[in-house]
């Protein structure tokens, strides 16, 4: 039976096993999918142990190892993983480990297909300039947006990211001028129960505000967006399910139906 894992730290609360087991049941694929904890700073050793002991067919990689995984697969990465400089999907074939990144496409599918928001032609404001922002930008840049602006607490990082992707960087204070259709929170501020410092006026024309973070209750960014008048505010649960579906496709070559799994998690 083929074995799959999600690698991270901490990892016990990951929803990925639940999602992938549901996909496997739907497709009638006989496989296992479990969590695998690696101590930070020991990614290469931990992965080698897993490969030796379990001979996995594939693995997802999550916080804090996406960059380590990209370094590990440096010469065997897909274009989208290279652009994101982060790997969330590993494919083990013979002696080679291939790296892919399905986060960006997961975001785009969730926004366009689940929420029916047309990204093409839209004016996008992206908050944050870390790995998550990079993953989203690597997909957004192929979506023919009317414009993409990046704002970050440390402006130099937004400038560097904007230069890398050929988009514009702005200061948080500048975003008060508004004119954004889609605002995406790619910062990790929710981990500290904070919202990024976006002025309320930035939301004036926003049709969709999206937080990559997901939680059983509204995140601080979602609250800020709603209180600033944005009618449509979503968390990142759908993106999690869609990136998993794309990883599943990388491993098994089949497209799963994601809506039932999404609804099950939402109602849990
Ligand atoms: P990830 O892989 O989740 O993107 P990261 O690479 O550590 O994690 O990046 C975290 C991002 O969240 C950064 O853009 C960070 O801003 P700085 O570059 O200024 O550190 C942003 N961030 C974290 N906490 C924040 C907060 N409270 N307000 C605004 N931005 C925050």
> Are 242 and 229 found together in one domain?
no
pTM: 0.96
Task: Supply 110's token pair.
Answer: 């969730």
Looking at the annotation, which residues are catalytic? 66
Residue 177: predicted pLDDT: 97
> Are 170 and 255 found together in one domain?
no
> Are 77 and 195 found together in one domain?
no
> Are 111 and 230 found together in one domain?
yes
User: Is the C-beta atom of 160 inside 6 A of ligand 1?
Assistant: no
What pLDDT, in 10s, does the model give residues 30-87? 999 999 999 999 999 999 999 999 999 999 999 999 999 999 999 999 999 999 999 9
Percent of the chain with pLDDT over 70: 100
Atom of ligand 1 nearest to the CA of 192: 27
Other beta carbons less than 10 A from residue 120's beta carbon: 9
> Are 147 and 180 found together in one domain?
yes
Q: What is the mean pLDDT of residues 114-134?
A: 96
> Are 149 and 89 found together in one domain?
no
> Are 263 and 220 found together in one domain?
no
Q: CATH number for the domain including 167?
A: 3.40.50.720
Residue 215: predicted pLDDT: 87
Alpha-carbon distance values, 10 to 61, 244, 259 (Å): 12, 19, 27
Q: Count up the domains in the chain and report the number.
A: 2
* pLDDT, mean over the chain: 97
Nearest to 43 by CA among 22, 20, 64, 15: 64
Q: What is the mean pLDDT of residues 202-217?
A: 96
User: Is the C-beta atom of 191 inside 6 A of ligand 1?
Assistant: no
Q: Which residues span the domain enclosing 8?
A: 2-101+238-267
Residue 37: predicted pLDDT: 98
- Cα 132 to Cα 129: distance, rounded to the nearest angstrom: 8
User: Is the C-beta atom of 132 inside 6 A of ligand 1?
Assistant: yes
User: Is the C-beta atom of 169 inside 6 A of ligand 1?
Assistant: no
Atom of ligand 1 nearest to the CA of 128: 14
């Amino acid at each position: 039976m083929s074995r799959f894992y999600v690698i991270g730290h901490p990892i016990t609360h990951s929803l990925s096993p639940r999602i992938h087991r549901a996909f496997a049941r739907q497709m009638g694929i006989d496989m296992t999918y479990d969590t695998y904890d690696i101590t930070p700073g020991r990614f290469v050793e931990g992965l080698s142990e897993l490969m030796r002991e379990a001979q996995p067919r594939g693995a997802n990689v999550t916080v804090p190892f996406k960059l380590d995984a990209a370094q590990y697969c440096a010469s065997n990465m897909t274009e989208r993983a290279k652009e994101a400089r982060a790997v969330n999907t590993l494919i083990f074939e013979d002696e080679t480990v291939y790296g892919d990144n399905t986060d960006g496409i997961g975001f785009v599918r969730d926004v366009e297909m689940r929420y029916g928001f047309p990204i093409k032609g839209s004016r996008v404001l992206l908050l944050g300039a870390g790995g998550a922002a990079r993953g989203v930008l690597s997909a957004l840049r192929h979506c023919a947006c009317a414009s993409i602006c990046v704002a970050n607490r440390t402006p130099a990082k937004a400038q560097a990211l904007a230069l890398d992707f050929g988009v514009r960087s702005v200061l948080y204070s500048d975003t008060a001028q508004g004119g954004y259709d889609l605002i995406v929170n790619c910062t990790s501020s929710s981990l500290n129960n904070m919202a990024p410092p976006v002025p309320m006026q930035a939301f004036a024309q926003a049709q969709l505000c999206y937080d990559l973070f997901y939680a059983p209750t509204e995140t601080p960014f979602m609250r800020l967006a709603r209180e600033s008048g944005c009618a449509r505010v979503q968390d990142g649960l759908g993106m999690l399910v869609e990136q998993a579906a794309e990883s599943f496709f990388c491993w098994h070559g089949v497209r799963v139906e994601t809506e039932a799994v999404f609804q099950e998690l939402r109602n849990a």
